[in-house]
């Protein structure tokens, strides 16, 4: 194992021990939001620390096996060689696990999702296929104990959906389904096809992590320029003789708010700050909506037949994921919700790419 990896592992183990001490501290226990955050971090690090300790024990076992191999007794040497083979296999397994622990973590992996399915090219057949896809994901969700709620839908004329948007609520839903976004293609003979010709239709799928609602925005006092001035409006002699009006400029965004309605500078400042928060909140929510719209467009493409991540071929009972060249003759099982046969290889491929980027 490279020295840089060991340094990272040592640092994370120290953090794990630090977290254990913090979680036992009465001050931390009394601060429930912080306690929950630290508990989640502790739980994430626990399997890494366990595997690291096991790896260190394997190194000690390997040294003992090496001493046996150096023994003058042939029987002891043979036993040492046998143990060394088993130890090296275990060592390789643990080193792979430790590398996986160090991979960059997607901050959205534990979130629930919004699942959007839209019929693309293919008319009624595309709508029917959208219904098939929705039932496939719903069954997969049920197998994992997740809740499925349809938020909006537009049904096709002959069944299925022109569009269906749902929420799948369950821990880890995004980590499992995040690779499903894109164009899905179906090849089958429609029931209305009298000559038995295979038709090709598409649907687009978008998997979006459920983000926390923006209920407020943090405002750093260092980002504010606050000016006071004499009110020019009505309010009597007192207002005109004091600098009671307040103008607040939020430097990062350039938003300017002011209030001069009250005689008290303190009240004007409080109202101006309230207005600033409202405008910053509106700005943040609009930005979030734009980012989600852009992400949705990026995920699904145009829905054209030529753009596809996966093909479902009914005559052959075949499912092909074109991103990793995976072909399975398990169409019925996959449509029944047994998606792990496809999702697991996709996750492994993604993990392999991340490991390669670590060097």
Classify residue 72 by burial, with Cβ atoms within 10 Å: 0-12, 13-18, 19+. Answer: exposed
Residue 39 has pLDDT above 80, yes or no: yes
SS3 content of the chain, % helix, strand, coil (to 5): 50, 20, 30
Average pLDDT over residues 66-70: 88
Nearest to 96 by CA among 44, 48, 43, 46: 48
**Low-confidence winner among 19-23, 84-88, 228-232, 256-260 (lowest mean pLDDT):** 228-232
pLDDT digits (tens, 9 = 90+) for 229-276: 876 654 444 445 567 888 999 999 899 888 876 678 888 888 788 778
Pick the CATH number of 113-213+302-357 from 3.20.20.140, 3.30.70.1660, 3.40.50.300, 3.50.50.60: 3.30.70.1660
Is 204 a residue whose pLDDT tops 90? yes
Domain coordinates of the chain in residue numbers? 3-101, 113-213+302-357, 221-290
pLDDT digits (tens, 9 = 90+) for 186-200: 999 887 666 778 889
Of 294, 211, 217, the residue nearest 255 (C-alpha): 217
Interatomic CA distance for residues 114 and 293, integer angstroms: 13
Residues 300, 118: contact at Cβ < 8 Å? yes
> Running DSSP on this structure, what letter comes out for residue 200?
E
Query: Region 169-181: what's the mean pLDDT?
Result: 92
CATH for 3-101, options being 1.10.8, 1.10.3470, 3.90.1200, 1.20.58: 1.20.58
Q: How confident is the model at residue 358 (pLDDT cuts 50, 70, 90)?
A: low
The mean pLDDT value for 26-53 works out to: 90
- On the question of pLDDT at 335 being above 90, the answer is yes
For residue 162, pLDDT over 50 is answered with yes
Q: Is the pLDDT of residue 213 over 70?
A: no
| Per-residue confidence (pLDDT) for residue 194, from 0 to 100 | 64
Is 221-290 the same fold as 113-213+302-357? no
| Cβ contacts of 220 within 8 Å, gap of 6 or more | none
- pLDDT tens digits, residue range 114-156? 999 999 988 899 999 999 999 999 999 999 999 999 988 899 9
**Lookup: tokens for 116:** 């959007």
Count of other CB atoms within 10 angstroms of residue 248: 20
DSSP 197: -
Angle subtended at Cα 178 by Cα 173 and Cα 179, rounded to the nearest 5 degrees: 140
Q: Is 198 helix (H, G, I), strand (E, B) or coil?
A: coil
pLDDT at site 215? 64
- Rounded Cα gap, residues 298 and 338, in angstroms: 27
Instruction: Please state the rounded mean pLDDT for residues 337-345.
Output: 95
Residue among 203, 136, 138 nearest 169 (CA): 138
Give residue 303's pLDDT.
Answer: 47
331-355: average pLDDT = 90
Q: State the residue for tokens 């254990």.
A: 20
How far is it, in rounded angstroms, from Cα 156 to Cα 187?
19
| Arithmetic mean of pLDDT over the chain | 85
CB-count burial class (<10 Å; 0-12, 13-18, 19+) for 359: exposed
Q: What is the DSSP letter of 211?
A: P
What does the alpha-carbon distance between residue 337 and residue 133 come to, in Å, rounded to a whole number? 9
Q: What does the angle CA 56 – CA 105 – CA 12 come to, to the nearest 5 degrees?
A: 35
Greatest mean pLDDT among 117-126, 253-262, 284-293, 300-309:
117-126
pLDDT number for residue 24: 93
* % of the chain with per-residue pLDDT over 90: 40
More confident residue, 299 or 39: 39
User: Which letter does DSSP use for residue 352 in this model?
Assistant: H
Query: What is the rounded CA–CA span in Å between residue 243 and residue 239?
Result: 8
What is the C-alpha to C-alpha distance for residues 160 and 123, in angstroms, rounded to an integer? 11
Q: What is the pLDDT of residue 239?
A: 44
Fold of 221-290: Double Stranded RNA Binding Domain (3.30.160)
- Measured in whole angstroms, how far is the alpha carbon of residue 92 from the centre of its chain? 29
pTM here? 0.65
Higher model confidence: residue 219 or residue 314? 314
DSSP 261-327: SSS-HHHHHHHHHHHHHHHHHHHHHHHHHHHHHHHHHHHHTT--TT--SEEEETTTTEEEETTTTEE
């Amino acid at each position: 194992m490279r020295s840089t990896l060991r340094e990272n592992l040592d640092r994370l183990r120290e953090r794990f021990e630090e977290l254990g001490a913090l979680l036992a501290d009465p001050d931390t226990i009394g601060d429930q939001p912080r306690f929950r955050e630290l508990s989640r971090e502790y739980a994430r690090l626990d399997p890494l620390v366990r595997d690291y300790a096991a790896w260190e024990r394997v190194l000690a076992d390997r040294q003992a096996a090496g001493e046996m191999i150096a023994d003058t007794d042939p029987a002891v040497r043979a036993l040492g060689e046998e143990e060394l083979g088993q130890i090296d296999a275990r060592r390789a397994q643990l080193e792979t696990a430790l590398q996986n622990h160090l991979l960059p973590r997607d901050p959205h992996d534990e979130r629930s999702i919004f699942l959007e399915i839209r019929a693309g090219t293919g008319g009624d057949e595309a709508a029917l296929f959208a219904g098939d896809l929705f039932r496939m994901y719903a069954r997969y969700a049920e197998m994992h104990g997740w809740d499925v709620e349809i938020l909006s839908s537009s049904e096709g004329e002959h069944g299925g959906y022109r569009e269906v948007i749902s929420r799948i609520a369950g821990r880890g839903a995004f980590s499992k389904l995040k690779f499903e976004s894109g164009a899905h293609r179906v090849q089958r003979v429609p029931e209305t096809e009298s000559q038995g010709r295979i038709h090709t239709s598409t649907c687009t799928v978008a998997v979006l992590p459920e983000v926390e609602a923006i209920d407020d925005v943090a405002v750093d006092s260092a980002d504010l320029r606050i000016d006071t001035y004499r009110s020019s409006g009505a309010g009597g002699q007192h207002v005109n003789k004091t600098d009671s009006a307040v103008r607040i400029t939020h430097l990062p965004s350039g938003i300017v708010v002011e209030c001069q309605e009250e005689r008290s500078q303190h009240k004007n400042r409080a109202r101006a700050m309230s207005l600033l928060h409202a405008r910053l909140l509106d700005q943040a929510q609009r930005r979030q909506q734009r980012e989600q719209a852009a992400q949705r467009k990026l995920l699904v493409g145009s829905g054209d037949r030529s753009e596809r991540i996966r093909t479902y071929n009914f005559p052959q009972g075949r499912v092909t994921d074109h991103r990793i060249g995976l072909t399975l003759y398990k169409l019925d099982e996959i449509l029944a919700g047994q998606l792990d046969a496809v999702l697991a290889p996709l996750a492994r491929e993604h993990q392999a790419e991340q490991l390669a980027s670590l060097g």
